[in-house]
């Protein structure tokens, strides 16, 4: 009979065998040839060039970026579909999450249609989410579509074991978000692809922000995408699964009809034609904000290099701040050093405002558990700290039917009311050290001042102000005049989960 020690040793041996098998089953790059590809430069103006010609005429595309803020979910989806449907030569798609729901299916359908009319489609997805490999490889089998996965798991049906065997590598994720058409127009910001980002029926709806851009920063997005697409981390989906079936026109037509996609977005609650942006899109009359800009982004090998090029560049911008800094981050874990730097900024005479999720509106309570450790020091140091309510109203035209709560997902900064940063980066250790991120900084005083004014006007209604009373953290609800002494609207289970997470040594993973 085996004693306890023998059983323990046997388990260890079996675990080593399993993990060794995981490593040996890793993807073999020699199976296929990976051909590099790059942004297509059009010799003649495209429809998108013509569409924005009125705006572009009086600006320099080499030094300036023109942008239109997409702060409503329905506009963000419509804008993506509009530029995809206008594509003539190329579409480059880069996302952390691409869901199999109405939003994801609608965009995938339009990408397939673009490929059918001869447009080259490059789709780069992070592999942290579990996708259907067979669907992706069939999508990629189209002669004009290529799908690559960033840093893929080597065990497709046992990702937990894969993480155990190769945690350091697989803990490195691509959080970048971009969509670029014909090398002319890009959409960058905080939104992934999924219903919750576009005001389509979901149990949660994210308040988010993207910028639709033309000009200098689009060229920078092109270079960024090419760098990631051709990096060793980006693996063709064909290397991952041997299945070589492909979609036909008939397959797609049947699929679209079965899902009712066309009917859903051409009538009723989700009718695109009812959106104010729709008229501007079809008439080519969108008014853009213009300013000098720079796209900031990490390199694909960020954890290996131990350097965040985005953070380095952004720090240089923030150090120029003289009057005010407003930070909007759904996941906010400032760490001891970051907390002290924010307090020091206040001591230097800057107004510092931070807007993040409350426990009830945060979809990752572990993040809240660690953030909560720094609330008191921040507020006592003069930082203005606000937590968004889980029932805050989100700007929309479409219905929130089915959404039980709202959640902040915007990642933005307003610097001196003259510059704005919009991107994928949270203010937490994961964004700083583990994930790759991207974002654009634009000097545009008119828009920056507008955003600042809207924030300061609306935040007392949509969020709780954090204050200190008798040495304890309290939540002031300015819309009701009440002061609350415990995490508002959060269940006891969420409170317990956040507290327990805050005592675990996981801050660097958040």
Residue that the structure tokens 């709560």 belong to = 405
Residue 63 structure tokens = 């030094």
Bridge partners of 438, per DSSP, are 297
Strands 234-236 and 384-388: unpaired
Question: What is d(CA 47, CA 279) in angstroms, rounded to the nearest whole number?
Answer: 17
Sign of the alpha-carbon dihedral angle for 53, 55, 58, 61: negative
Q: Would you state the torsion angle of the CA atoms of residues 175, 188, 422, 270, taken in this order, to the nearest 10 degrees?
A: -100
- Tell me how far apart the terminal alpha carbons of the chain are, to the nearest angstrom: 45
Residue 406 structure tokens = 């709202």
Question: What is d(CA 336, CA 340) in angstroms, rounded to the nearest whole number?
Answer: 6
Question: What is d(CA 238, CA 133) in angstroms, rounded to the nearest whole number?
Answer: 9
Residue 76 structure tokens = 């963000």
Question: What is d(CA 25, CA 113) in angstroms, rounded to the nearest whole number?
Answer: 36
Residues marked active site are found at 175, 177, 182, 409, 411, 416
199 neighbors 73 (Cβ within 8 angstroms) = yes
Question: What is d(CA 192, CA 269) in angstroms, rounded to the nearest whole number?
Answer: 22
Q: How many residues does the chain have?
A: 510
Q: Residue 134: CB partners within 8 Å, gap ≥ 6?
A: 241, 243, 245
């Amino acid at each position: 009979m085996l004693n306890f020690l023998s059983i323990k040793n046997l388990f260890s041996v079996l675990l080593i065998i399993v993990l060794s098998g995981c490593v040996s089953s890793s993807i073999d790059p020699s199976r296929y040839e990976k051909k590099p590809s790059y942004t297509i430069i059009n010799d003649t103006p495209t429809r998108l060039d013509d569409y924005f010609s009125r705006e572009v005429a009086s600006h320099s595309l080499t030094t300036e970026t023109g942008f239109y803020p997409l702060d409503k979910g329905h506009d963000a989806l419509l804008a993506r579909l509009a530029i995809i449907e206008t594509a003539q030569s190329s579409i480059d798609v880069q996302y952390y999450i691409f869901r199999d729901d109405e939003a994801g299916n609608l965009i995938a359908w339009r990408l397939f249609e673009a490929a059918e009319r001869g447009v080259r489609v490059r789709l780069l997805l992070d592999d942290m989410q579990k996708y259907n490999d067979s669907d992706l490889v069939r999508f990629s089998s189209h002669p004009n579509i290529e799908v690559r996965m960033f840093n893929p798991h080597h065990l497709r049906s046992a990702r937990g074991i894969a993480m155990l065997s190769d945690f350091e590598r697989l803990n490195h994720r691509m959080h970048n978000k971009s969509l670029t058409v014909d090398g002319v127009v890009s959409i960058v910001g905080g939104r992934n692809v999924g219903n919750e980002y576009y005001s389509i029926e979901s149990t949660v709806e994210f308040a988010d922000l993207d910028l639709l851009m033309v000009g200098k920063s689009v060229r920078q997005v092109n270079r960024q995408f090419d760098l990631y697409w051709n990096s060793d981390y980006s693996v063709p989906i064909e290397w991952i699964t041997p299945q070589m079936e492909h979609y036909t026109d008939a397959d797609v037509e049947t699929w679209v009809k079965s899902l009712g996609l066309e009917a859903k977005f051409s009538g009723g609650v989700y009718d695109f034609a009812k959106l104010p942006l729709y008229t501007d899109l079809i008439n080519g009359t969108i008014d853009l904000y213009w300013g000098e800009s720079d796209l900031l982004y990490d390199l694909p090998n960020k954890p290996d290099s131990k350097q965040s090029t985005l953070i380095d560049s952004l720090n240089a911008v923030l150090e120029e701040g003289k009057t005010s800094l407003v930070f909007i981050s759904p996941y906010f874990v400032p760490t001891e050093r970051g907390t002290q730097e924010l307090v020091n900024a206040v001591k230097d005479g800057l107004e510092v405002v931070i807007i993040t999720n409350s426990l009830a509106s945060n979809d990752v309570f572990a993040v809240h558990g660690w953030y909560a450790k720094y609330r008191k020091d921040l507020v006592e140091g003069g930082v203005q700290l606000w937590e968004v309510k889980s029932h805050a109203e989100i700007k929309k035209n479409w219905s929130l039917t089915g959404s039980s709560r709202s959640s902040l997902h915007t990642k933005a900064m307003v610097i001196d009311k003259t510059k704005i940063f919009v991107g994928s980066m949270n203010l937490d250790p994961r964004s700083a050290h583990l994930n790759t991120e991207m974002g654009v900084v634009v000097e545009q005083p008119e828009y920056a001042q507008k955003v600042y004014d809207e924030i300061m006007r609306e935040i007392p209604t949509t969020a709780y102000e954090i204050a200190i009373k008798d040495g304890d953290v309290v939540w002031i609800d300015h819309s009701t005049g009440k002061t609350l002494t415990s995490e508002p609207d959060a269940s006891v289970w969420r409170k317990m989960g956040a507290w327990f997470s805050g005592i675990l040594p996981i801050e660097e993973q958040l």
